[in-house]
Amino acid sequence: MTAETANSTSVEFDWGLMREKLSDWEWRVNNLYWITDKNGKRVKFHMNEAQLALFRGMHYRNIILKARQLGFTTFVMIFMLDAALFTKNTKCAVIAHSKDDATRLFREKIKYAYDELPAAIRDNVRATNDRAGELVFSNGSSITVGTSFRGGTLKYLHISEFGKICAKYPDKAREIVTGAFEAVSKDCVIFIESTAEGKAGYFYEYSQQAERNAKREINLSRLDWKFFFFPWYKDPSYKLDNDAIPIPERLRDYANTLASKHGVHLSDEQLAWYAAKERTLGNDMKREYPSIPEEAFAQSIEGAYYQRQIEDIYEQQRLTKVPHETSALVHTFWDLGVSDETCIWFIQQIGREYRVIDYYQNSGEGLPFYKRMLDDIASEKKYMYGFHVAPHDINHREFGTGLSRIEQAASLGINFEVAPKLAVVDGIEAVRAVLPLCWFDEASTEQGFAGLQAYRKEWDDKRGVWKDRPCHDWASHPADAFRTFAVALNYLQDQMSDFHGGYFSGVRVISSGGWT
């Protein structure tokens, strides 16, 4: 943004001289609007390089993964305000992740920019309704800022920090997708912009699909998301005098990796800025200021139970290609759902390591389906099964049949062992203890590993804090199944004098009666 200033916004406005320029949307966005910059100074808005790339490359569905402080929220606010002012009957809406943000965006971005327009434009398109959170104009257009939107038909919709909404407010994210998105026809435009908040929810899923489409260079339909990624180093202001900031050797190694693998070349001044910023942000640096898309999503989300353990897995490169060892048994660990997901981890022990080689989940299917699935996978991948472990509630008898699920499974040929019942908090500690010994196959366990990464505490909307219990969402199912694994190991280690030479590594030593 430029630092231009003006003495007054009520200067004489010549419609005749300006008519041709006012028909140019890019000119209008770059020349008509005033905002306040990071220092609170009044400046003329002018698109920076990243904003211009979005403006010129805009699609019907746009998903923007970005570093912080690149000004995309400001740009979209100005873009939508301009659309409402210069095109009749254009309805725009902005969804923020909190009420405070919604109030701030409306007051500081939209209302301020409108009030600072030349008087001739404001007189020509008057704000007939100027209440908190909404401007309704005399030309039939409107722009609304809030935390949700349902009803009506929009021309433009912007969701700010959708990653945060998905992570902290999954119900609100679902409402946006099923409500607000449905209010926008295929001919209209949606902007989603956010920093990443881990591999959780719609923002992650949409971003991954859009990035895959971009890499494959497929022709997008109007309902496909177009992927925009804007890394920190694209901002020319993110530089410091490298003589003042020592650059650690590990960051030089990091820069060399970016150059060799991704063609990203950082200057010493950029590395100095990165080093200084990292001192403040610590482990959140890559999430807030990613260099490549993978970095943004590699960071665990706030409130995640296994944040430190997941960070270690990435740092030690234990999320990689993990081969199936044909001479060792494959054991399965389950979370059995009825209306929810059924999730299954496939794990081998090799020495003192646990190789997590596969993951499967499905819903709405009965035990006969999973028996066939186990047989099919064993045939296809040459798995030799050891034991199958289910959580304690598999012993509960069903009202309709009078049989427990463990009895039904046994009649089909799945002989389950039953993990002991532990408090959830104790099970979480068991997972934390075993994760440092685990290697995950990146391709085969992608969905399950994302669940472990996203498994988090429930958010208390009223108090603004994390509750002391897990959030029951999509991530809880793979996490519960992995907790079955960890709890089973904990029990075995307590009960068996030679665990590592026992059944888990290939020789059965558990009594036929199972666990109690």
Domain assignments of the chain as residue spans, ordered by start: 15-230, 237-299, 319-505
Residue 500 confidence (pLDDT)? 39
| pLDDT at site 18 | 66
CA-nearest of 83, 64, 86 to 73 is 64
**In Å, how far are 45, 55, 67, 144, 145 from 101, measured between CA atoms?**
21, 24, 18, 13, 9
* Cβ-contact 8, 116 below 8 angstroms: no
pLDDT of residue 303: 76
Q: What's the gap between Cα 271 and its chain centre?
A: 26
pLDDT at 124: 87
What's the confidence (pLDDT) of residue 507?
A: 34
> For 38, phi and psi rounded to 5 degrees?
-60, -25
Options 3.20.20.70, 3.90.280.10, 3.40.50.300, 3.30.420.280; CATH of 15-230:
3.40.50.300
Could you read off the pLDDT of 373-383 as tens digits, one per residue? Answer: 999 999 999 99
Helix (H, G, I), strand (E, B) or coil at 209: helix
Task: Identify the pLDDT of residue 203.
Answer: 87
Q: Which helix (H) or strand (E) holds 417?
A: strand 416-418
Query: Which is it for the CA torsion 204, 148, 195, 279, positive or negative?
Result: negative
* Residue type at 160 in one-letter notation: S
Nearest in space to 354 (alpha carbons), one of 450, 225, 234, 493: 493
The span from the CA of 199 to the CA of 182, in Å, is 24
Handedness of CA 259, 264, 268, 273 (dihedral sign): negative
Two structure tokens written together for 139 = 């030309």
Residue type, 262: H
Q: Residue 406, Cβ neighbours under 10 Å: how many?
A: 22
Beta strands in 148-220 (DSSP E): 154-160, 184-194
- Please give the average pLDDT of every successive group of 10 residues along the chain, which has 516 residues: 32 57 89 86 91 93 86 91 93 86 88 91 84 87 84 83 79 82 80 79 87 89 92 89 80 92 92 88 80 77 82 85 93 86 94 94 92 96 93 74 83 91 92 96 90 83 69 90 90 44 40 27
Q: What's the Cα-to-Cα distance from 204 to each of 198, 200, 251, 294, 472, rounded to whole Å?
A: 8, 6, 27, 11, 18
Tell me: the pLDDT tens digits for 102-149?
888 888 899 999 999 988 889 889 998 766 788 999 999 999 998 877
Whole-angstrom distance, CA of residue 347 vs CA of residue 357: 6
Query: Any bridge partners for residue 333, and if so which?
Result: 345, 389
Contacts with 515 (C-beta within 8 Å, 6 or more apart), sequence order: 417, 418, 419, 420, 491
Distance of CA 422 to the CA centre of its chain: 31
Topology annotation, domain 319-505: Nucleotidyltransferase; domain 5 (3.30.420)
Residue 342, SS3? strand
